[in-house]
Each structure stands twice: as structure tokens, then as C-alpha cells.
Amino acid sequence: QVQLVESGGGLVQAGESLRLSCAASGSIFSITVMGWYRQAPGKQRELVATITTGRTTGGRTNYAGSVRGRFTISRVNAENTVNLQMDSLKPEDTAVYYCNAKYTYGLDVGDYWGQGTQVTVSS
């Protein structure tokens, strides 16, 4: 089992910045990718950004087109933490942001999710 604890959400104005953090604990050796997804009211959950976590192959990032160039995902392996720096925020970035960890354990693959943190951007 893996536990994910998010922090850093809040209310900001358009153009401002926020930093989200996600700390993983438990069976972290099984995690291959960590990232952030978001879900706005009435919409499906969507990918924001991901980063691979392997010690030799890790650090590869992937971004949704709508956030590329504004958001930066990074990892701190020693702290089992993944951060999402969000700059130049727009009202359409308003959503609940969820931390995600994808795991592989033998033939078993799946996802762990955090509880979500609210990000609200006012115009």
C-alpha cells in the first residue's frame, strides 16, 4: 500500500503562482510514475503532469498541452515527494488537483490517489 498526502492548494488571482506537493509513504519501491491530475466541476478528471521515478531512468516528464510552459513537475527522491509549480495561473486552472502514483508489483499494476486539494483561480 502507498499513501499520498497532498498540500499547497488555495485561492489565488489570475497570473499568480501556487506550488503543490505530494508526499508518498508505504510501499514506495513499487511506484514507477507519479503525477498530478485535476477535475473541474462537471468535467472528467484529466492529466496535468507526470514524472517517472526510477533511480536510473527517472525524471522523464509529460505535460498536458494546456499547462506546458506554465507548470513544472519535479521530484525529490530523498523525500519521496513530487512537486507541481504552477505559474501564470488562469481561471480555467480551477479544479481539485489529485496526486497519483502508478505502481508495478510483479504482474499487479494500478494507481494510488491522494485525497485532492482545491485550487481556485479568480479572474
In a structure prediction context, what are the per-residue pLDDT tens digits for the chain, which is 123 residues long? 899 999 999 999 999 999 999 999 988 888 899 999 999 999 999 999 999 987 666 789 999 999 999 999 999 877 789 999 999 999 999 999 999 999 988 898 899 999 999 999 999
d(CA 86, CA 15): 10
Buried b (16+ CB within 10 A) or exposed e, 45-78: eeebbbbbbeeeeeeeeebeeebeeebbbebeee
d(CA 9, CA 23): 14
Q: What's the confidence (pLDDT) of residue 54?
A: 73
Contacts of 87 (CB under 8 A, 6+ apart): 17, 70, 71, 72
Q: What's the confidence (pLDDT) of residue 106?
A: 87
Q: What's the confidence (pLDDT) of residue 28?
A: 83
Q: What's the confidence (pLDDT) of residue 55?
A: 64
Q: What's the confidence (pLDDT) of residue 57?
A: 66
Q: What's the confidence (pLDDT) of residue 56?
A: 63
